[in-house]
Structure 1
Amino acid sequence: MKKIKQFNLSQLNAFLNGNNRFIDTDLSQNDREQMASDYISEHLLVVRNPPVNRLLSRLTGDTLVIPEMRVLILTQGSVNPVVNLTQRHYEAGQLVFMSHNSIVQPMDSSDDLRGFGLSLTDEIAGLAFPAGMPKLFDGHVRDCNFMLTTEEMQQVEDIHSLLYNLMHDRQSAPQVVLSLAAAFLWQVDSLWSRHESETLGSLSREQRIFTDFIQLVSCYATQEHNIDFYARRLFLSPRYMSTLVKQVSGKAAKQWIDDAIVTRIKVELRHTDKSAAQIADEMNFPNPSFFCKYFKRMTGTTTQAYRAG
């Protein structure tokens, strides 16, 4: 039997746009469709009512960075993770979004946790939205969660159910699967926009500034370690921003920044084989010695001991 190799991203894009001349001419149309479907299946995961350990993948273990965006709708149970520095409570009836590179820390969950959702890589997202990403997924929102009405739940469940069935039908055209995934995400974006406008109207100015501060820290803390950077981005003085963050959260602004830095260091130490010097360089520390002393001061343990333990 002839072994069918995989498409790369450019070949898949050519196939989806009908430019088959850029693809191996020895392949039949069926072979090409099979390769396109295999590529999509590898980069798009659609799940429906799995047990908790599959629904949330490895999110019940060590702190980790999730490599792809995820949308989950919970139908049963509850779970309490820390996502991008913020303690979250997710329960039945909520829609949950996590962007790629979100940092998720260990959680506890109920045994009956169930739901449905999908995860997709940036490559597939780019193909699904060639004219531009919906606002929720364009990179400026790290994570969010909100409650769905019964009608909204039914809408997203209907689209997801059709997508799930097509993903498991090997006869389905790849273009149909991608279009339906895009439709699901456009609907999620529409629901988020509606919810966001209602939520922002109920927040005080101080709460909105704090929310913006946490988003900035989540995005930039690995490179920007000083309060001044965040104050400038928020058009505030460092002193006023620090006072406001402390008032709203009960925790100092610098502590939020340090927590984000330490969390990312822990991920790098536990889940990569990078040296301390490489991590220090990538995270904008002046030198490895300073990096190691910083980690010891913040955690009470050395980088070597944390990696080993």
Structure 2
Amino acid sequence: MNNKNNLTEAAISNFKDIVSLMESNRTTVEGEVYVGSKFLVTIGCNPFFRPIIDEQSPVCMNVARVVIIRSGWCEPVIGFKKYRCGPGDMLFINWGVMLNGDSFGANTTFDGITVTEEYMKLVFGGRMPEVFLSPGLCFSVHLSEREQTVWKQYVRTLYNLAHIRNIDPVVIRSLFVSALNFTESMYKSKGSDNHIAWSRNKRAIERFIRLVNDHAKTEHELDFYASQLDMTTHYLGMIIKKDTGTTAKEWIDKTLCVLLQLELRHTSKPLKVIADEFNFVSLSSFCKFFKRRTGMTASAYRLLSDHEE
């Protein structure tokens, strides 16, 4: 089953909030947990994040989560509907999903991963699989014993790799890509879809996100996307903000920034060449944009090691 929901007047809890909650309640956190700067890996972990939901609902945690329920059950309330998940169920919740509540059975534990939106885009080289582009996507599917074993092996290997000192981050990113592709495969083979029931606005939002994914490198202004969707910039901006909690320009800028980070990290092109290829009016405008988005110059970012990124 799956649901794509609106994000309206929800509290926002980011990755740092989740990590801070876990760190301040270490004695009550069960299982094995690896805490990275952009992701969490949890094995046999209890729902330590529950206070965020209980105290702030409706809330968007602003991270993507994929878990398999190992024991017990959970019943997240998404779009004012309850979704009961038990042992062997895979639950995916994207960063735009609004949680109106969640219930948990006694001794409920999960095996899974939590990643920031930015990290998810980085591991996919700035071009995520289409299924993950919708910020409001969530789904639950039941896995066979063999499929559960595969997922547990993904999570265990990610956990072990993350604990290896000086491991090349590319190794971890590659396994994240594989694990998320496996998640996509489970969704496509077992999930159902309800695109037919989407409203005109919902369809427009999905098209906008795909257009940004395809064209953000060279098209930086909202006018282009509004013209492609046959809408005014005002109306497009209004429905994007209402549905996702993020402005349309922010969608464009954050996608563009990820693409620039990848270009700086993986090529030795002069900054002027990058500015031209990314359709900036000048090198200065490129440098100002990058500094505003990241807090550092493009040259300084290029000198960072993968471990510092």
Structure 1 length normalisation: TM-score? 0.50
Q: Greater share of helix residues, 1 or 2?
A: 1
The corresponding residue for 1:167 is: 162
Within 2, Cα distance between the matches of 1:42 and 1:208? 35
- Where relative contact order (Cα < 8 A, 6+ residues apart) is larger, the structure is 2
| 1:136 paired to 2:131 | yes
Change (3 A) 1:135 1:141: farther
Q: Is the 8 A contact 1:75 1:114 kept in 2?
A: yes
Corresponding residue to 2:182 among 169, 187, 191: 187
The corresponding residue for 1:58 is: 52
SS of aligned partner of 2:48: helix
Within 1, Cα distance between the matches of 2:130 and 2:96? 17
In structure 2, list runs of 5 or more residues that go unmatched: 1-34, 207-228, 230-241, 246-309
The corresponding residue for 1:216 is: 202
How far did 1:264 drift? Answer: 9.9
Within 1, Cα distance between the matches of 2:51 and 2:150? 25
Larger Rg: 1
Within 1, Cα distance between the matches of 2:86 and 2:119? 28
How far did 1:69 drift? Answer: 1.0
Q: Is the 8 A contact 1:43 1:124 kept in 2?
A: yes
The corresponding residue for 2:79 is: 84
Within 1, Cα distance between the matches of 2:196 and 2:147? 29
SS of aligned partner of 1:188: helix
Correspondences of 1:1-309 after superposition (within 5 Å): 41-54=36-49, 58-63=52-57, 64-130=59-125, 132-139=127-134, 142-196=137-191, 199=192, 209-210=196-197, 212=198, 216=202
How far did 1:61 drift? Answer: 3.4
The corresponding residue for 1:238 is: none
In structure 1, list runs of 5 or more residues that go unmatched: 1-39, 201-206, 221-232, 234-260, 266-309
Cα-Cα RMSD: 3.1
How far did 1:152 drift? Answer: 0.8
How far did 1:170 drift? Answer: 2.3
Could you tell me which amino acid in structure 2 is paired with residue 61 of structure 1?
A: E
Q: Is the 8 A contact 2:62 2:117 kept in 1?
A: no
Instruction: Give per-residue Cα distances to partners, 1:232-269, cap 9 Å, x unaligned.
Output: x9xxxxxxxxxxxxxxxxxxxxxxxxxxx8x999xxxx
How far did 1:172 drift? Answer: 1.7
Could you tell me which amino acid in structure 2 is paired with residue 87 of structure 1?
A: K
Change (3 A) 1:57 1:92: farther
Within 2, Cα distance between the matches of 1:208 and 1:136? 12
SS of aligned partner of 1:73: strand
Within 2, Cα distance between the matches of 1:166 and 1:148? 25
Could you tell me which amino acid in structure 2 is paired with residue 189 of structure 1?
A: E
Within 2, Cα distance between the matches of 1:186 and 1:158? 14
